[in-house]
Structure 1
Amino acid sequence: MSAPRILLLSHSHAFGPFRVGSHHYARTLAESGADVVHLSTPVSAAHRVTGRIDRATLATLPRGPVRDAAGVTHLVPRTLVPVPYGRFRVDRALRRHGIAERFDAVLIDQPLLWHDSVRSLTERLVYRPTDMYPDGVKHGLQERIIAAADGVLATSSAVLDALGDLRVPTLVIENGVDADRFAAPQGNGVREALCVYVGALDGRFDWEQLGAWGRGHPDVRFVVAGPGAAPAVLPSNVEMLGAIAYDQLPALLHRARVGLLPLSDDPLNEGRSPMKLYEYLAAGTAVVTRETPVLHADAESGVYTYRDTGDADAALRSALAHPSPNAAGVRRAAYEGWGAKTAQLQRFALGLAPR
């Protein structure tokens, strides 16, 4: 039996400081023997001219297909106009770069990559929503994807519920963790009072809460690792590292006592299944996160939640007092590995009735 060919149409490329679910699925599928192509949102001339992508970042992006060590073929297309406003089509991009256009399954998590021609690439089309799109361009494209899809694989029950009644098979697989990568070395002792956040610094991040924690705990160090700058002056015990390479994250987390997920009240946070939760736990930190329909307290595993500023300080104090390193959290993260989740995804996608 020949290896299955699987195409992942993703919102993020794998050449920057972040790793998202599609990157881990692509790697694990390829390691299991599948022929995997990972195509991400095109970089447009408009992005380059307006500075939304700088020259240094652009220089890291390949101009054609690149096969990585795991065997995944990555393609980051270049366009003149941002999708979906130009004439970009996935099938044409594949053809232009000599990549065969038929796949046993196509999984799409980026609505902006949709065009009706995507349907012709496979007999099994799976929509894999990672966020909620209540309105706007992505909402309209999402409706078209759902109408054409053979199945829906969501990253949380909240994201799935937001899609309404569906007439195709559905499954929820929350994001996981590469537990071995984040495991702390033997003998990693009690850690300093250091709290770390790693990730995007956009409207989903609560700067006010971070500042309040810093002012309320002057004896605690807070480190923020991610591209971008703070919108306001922060306390002196809050350090901005900027973007750091994915390979450097474990070493940073192994020094920390607490991993932070200070989510803002942005509605998009309601359905998020942040990979950082399990990466923090796998690295041996306790976790403080705003409570959402997806993220719940688990004090035994070192996960503490808050609903608003009124109980955020208590949640942080509890996390700082949790046994360090957080052995119970490490054990919980071990059940959330990408290997098992990828096997679920592959069974679901390839088990759909071919069209």
Structure 2
Amino acid sequence: MTGNALRAKDENAPNAIMSTTTTGQKMNILFLSHTYIGCHYVVGSHHLSKALAEMGHRVVHIPHPWSSVHQIVRGSRRNLVTGELSPNRWQFQIGGFLPSKWHMLALNFDNHSKNLANEILSYCDEINISTFDYCFVDDPVFCQTCKYLPINKMVYRPTDIYPEMPQGKAYKKADRLLMENSSRVVATNEQILKYHGMEDASNTFVLNNGFDPVHFSSGHRPSTESPSMTSDSDSTNKMLSVCYVGALDKRFDYKLLNAAAAACKEVKFDIYSPSDAGPLNHELPNIHCLGAVDYQTLPSVLTQYDLLIMPFTFDLSNRGRSPMKLFEYAASNVPILAPSYMNTFGIEDVTLYANLDEFIAALKKARINPQLNRDMDILKPHSWTRKAELLLEFVEGDVS
């Protein structure tokens, strides 16, 4: 098997529960996710699996398969943790010799999927889990794997409009099959369901990603002029400090940011991302690429800025984005600048832009060290604990 999972068997672990469950009973839950726990990016399946485990459910998290070819070309996954992560919560790495996407496109995908299922079952057997009450799938590559697993109810949880993602065409068929064949579809954005023409289907539900209110309340706004996170000169402290934290990919609007930085020399743009920042104009002195920021220190980083931005393109691939970043930004008590297609959920001090001119105008109007006092009660329904409760209520048929 791929990976270095902790193999110690828990002799006292309870057997799998009966297949008929209702809210309140402890269940066995499987996540088949696109992102591993330990990655730079902390995504919804990580938070939901943690919240469900804290409720007492036994939760197994399986990330996108890591093949022998991946291992040879890219090496081991950085900071991957396998085995028991916390009480009631495990992560295991599976794979095969060739990447799953290759099998999906041109090889024996069904046989490969069956092998992946056998790997999962082997790991789960060692922690005395023989069947799952619910399986939440957010990676289309697992579309065939599911049929070889003892699952009582399969729930597709698309977090993006996958066919419109960079290199996402390969997932178009798998995405559609999961949409059509899952017992429930829980999308993180209404636009995902609209894309598939399923917004009125009785087995669908929109459950936006949430955020950790305790974690993101740990940052504190400075009481005087915000200090510069990068110090090029003494005058930098007088510049409006703007921050973006997240992925730099084809959905990031490099053209917009480069143009805004060129037009607003008095604004300092700090970009935190583990991704390659190549398309950004590194010749502009007010663009600073600072690499990845640790999730544990993210709240204290966000609060040091005057404006938090979401410079995303207006491509269809962005319409299905989850608002998790919006909630995390909002909890920092810093003004936000976001694309006009985003739902603000009633959050105060969010400015929307529809083009470059509006983006620049918002930068010009922004104030240094704004002292906001957002109504944080509006964020309470978006906690991960509440999201996990709603997720179970829907898949058990208690909400619509």
TM-score, reference length from structure 2: 0.78
Is the 1:132–1:162 contact (alpha carbons within 8 Å) kept by the matching residues of 2? yes
What displacement does 1:219 show? Answer: 2.6
Matched, 1:73 2:90: yes
Q: Deviations over 1:44-82 (max 9, x none)?
A: 2333444xx4x4x625224xx421235321122233211
Is the 1:130–1:154 contact (alpha carbons within 8 Å) kept by the matching residues of 2? yes
Classify 1:118/1:58 alpha carbon distance in 2 versus 1 (closer, same or farther; 3 Å). same
Give distance in 2, aligned partners of 1:277 and 1:182: 12
1:344 matched to which residue of 2?
Answer: 390
2:42 matched to which residue of 1?
Answer: 19
2:117 matched to which residue of 1?
Answer: 91
Q: Deviations over 1:77-120 (max 9, x none)?
A: 23321114341444212123244341111110110122154364
Matched, 1:171 2:205: yes
Matched, 1:107 2:136: yes
Classify 1:191/1:77 alpha carbon distance in 2 versus 1 (closer, same or farther; 3 Å). farther
Which of these residues, 36, 55, 58, is aligned with residue 35 of structure 1? Answer: 58
Classify 1:322/1:127 alpha carbon distance in 2 versus 1 (closer, same or farther; 3 Å). farther
Is the 1:224–1:241 contact (alpha carbons within 8 Å) kept by the matching residues of 2? yes
Q: What is the percentage of aligned positions where both structures have the same residue?
A: 27
What displacement does 1:287 show? Answer: 0.8
Is the 2:30–2:59 contact (alpha carbons within 8 Å) kept by the matching residues of 1? yes
Structure of higher CA gyration radius: 2
Classify 1:297/1:346 alpha carbon distance in 2 versus 1 (closer, same or farther; 3 Å). closer
Which of these residues, 298, 305, 308, is aligned with residue 259 of structure 1? Answer: 308
Give distance in 2, aligned partners of 1:279 and 1:112: 29
1:216 matched to which residue of 2?
Answer: 263
Structure 1 residues without counterparts, runs of 5 or longer: none
Give distance in 2, aligned partners of 1:197 and 1:348: 34
Is the 1:191–1:255 contact (alpha carbons within 8 Å) kept by the matching residues of 2? no
Matched, 1:150 2:183: yes
Q: Deviations over 1:167-188 (max 9, x none)?
A: 5511111111111101145674
Give distance in 2, aligned partners of 1:48 and 1:266: 33
Is the 1:257–1:325 contact (alpha carbons within 8 Å) kept by the matching residues of 2? no
1:205 matched to which residue of 2?
Answer: 252
Matched, 1:236 2:322: no
Give distance in 2, aligned partners of 1:22 and 1:325: 34
What displacement does 1:191 show? Answer: 5.1
Give distance in 2, aligned partners of 1:337 and 1:297: 14
Structure 2 residues without counterparts, runs of 5 or longer: 1-23, 104-111, 227-239
Equivalent AA in structure 2 for residue 253 of structure 1:
L
Which of these residues, 104, 109, 126, is aligned with residue 155 of structure 2? Answer: 126
Alignment root-mean-square deviation, CA? 2.5
Give distance in 1, aligned partners of 2:301 and 2:220: 16
Matched, 1:60 2:79: yes
Give distance in 2, aligned partners of 1:80 and 1:344: 38
Classify 1:59/1:196 alpha carbon distance in 2 versus 1 (closer, same or farther; 3 Å). closer
Give distance in 1, aligned partners of 2:280 and 2:364: 24
Equivalent AA in structure 2 for residue 261 of structure 1:
M
| Matched position secondary structure for 1:347 | helix
